[in-house]
Amino acid sequence: MRKLFYLSRFLTALFFPVLISFGMVSPGSAQGDAGYVGADVCKGCHEGYYESYARSIHAKKAIPGSPANKHACESCHGPGAAHVSAGGGKGTGIFPFSRKQIADEKAARCLSCHEETEHLAFWDLSMHKRAGVSCDNCHSPHSGRPENLKMSTPGLCYGCHRDINAMTNKQSHHPINEGLVRCTDCHDPHGTFSSKMIKADSVNELCYKCHADKRGPYMWEHPPVDENCLICHTPHGSNHNRLLDKKTPELCQSCHETRGHPGAPYTRFNTFNPPAGGTVSNKLVARSCLNCHTNIHGSNGPSTHGKRFVR
């Protein structure tokens, strides 16, 4: 099989320029445009690529007479006549989408058809574009996967975002690895007006899509809750319960420091091993602000109980 492959490639490179010179085959005979050789010629050397392309959505969109993708392989890679005439040398007379090429040049090929797509409206604002990420880093026109992705999420995203991968393996995390939440549920990889390419005007509005019970309105609002959920929580994963940035009461004490309050830190004299004649502090047992202040996101309770978020 391999010998037949190389033989067909050799014969194509050898006789194609001759056939053109005698007028038996024109560079655009398959498609009717100068410089284009047609997908069948590409298949002669790149059968594996052609078979994968034939199963993709791009091949299904190759409708005769349609301006988009009407040249099949050459719609993305450019006219192939010069490439074939040169013997099929790597990168000769063709656009190969290699790592050496500039990301903007590769993206421009895709945008020539997809520029008017709704979810690409903010591509020029995206962090991915600024970081030099091109379409083919995540997508493959030969892929038969949904949206032509090279692999499914979150594995695709973890290829670059390894720090996020580590967070999602912590004991408290959003069920991303379990497949219940996808990266694209919260982020738009093609760009948004918001920070971190989130699919909302603010972090809180994004969180409220799932955690609507935390929205309120409340008679007594906890200021950091109304300002930004990330003041207390880390979204991808934490070693503390409920995705908290720190464990309680340390998290609460980063803003609240009241002497004499049961939530205040204690010295070793108040532990289970008091000095001779000392007493054991009952405030150390299961000590947590949330034991009393249960309505920490906001409260509609009466008087001072509601104001202090006490149950």
Number of alpha carbons in the 13 Å side-chain half-sphere of residue 251: 19
Asked whether residue 38 is domain-assigned, the answer is: yes
Whether 257 contacts 194, CB under 8 Å: no
Phi-psi region of 65 (alpha: psi -120 to 50; beta: other; left: phi over 0): left
Whether 150 contacts 139, CB under 8 Å: yes
- Last residue of some domain: 199, 229, 257? 199
For residues 81 and 107, state if they share a domain: no
- Last residue of some domain: 165, 199, 233? 199
Q: How many domains, in total, are found in the chain?
A: 3
For residues 48 and 121, state if they share a domain: no
Asked whether residue 235 is domain-assigned, the answer is: yes
Whether 17 has a pLDDT exceeding 60, the answer reads: no
Domain that holds residue 41: 2-85
List, for residues 79-129, the tens digit of each pLDDT value: 999 888 888 777 678 898 888 889 999 999 999 888 888 889 999 989 999
For residues 76 and 121, state if they share a domain: no
List, for residues 144-174, the tens digit of each pLDDT value: 788 889 999 999 999 999 999 999 999 999 9
Asked whether residue 68 is domain-assigned, the answer is: yes
Q: What pLDDT score does 105 carry?
A: 92
List, for residues 66-77, the tens digit of each pLDDT value: 556 778 888 889
Which pTM does this prediction carry? 0.77
Determine how many CB atoms are found less than 10 A away from the CB of residue 225. 19
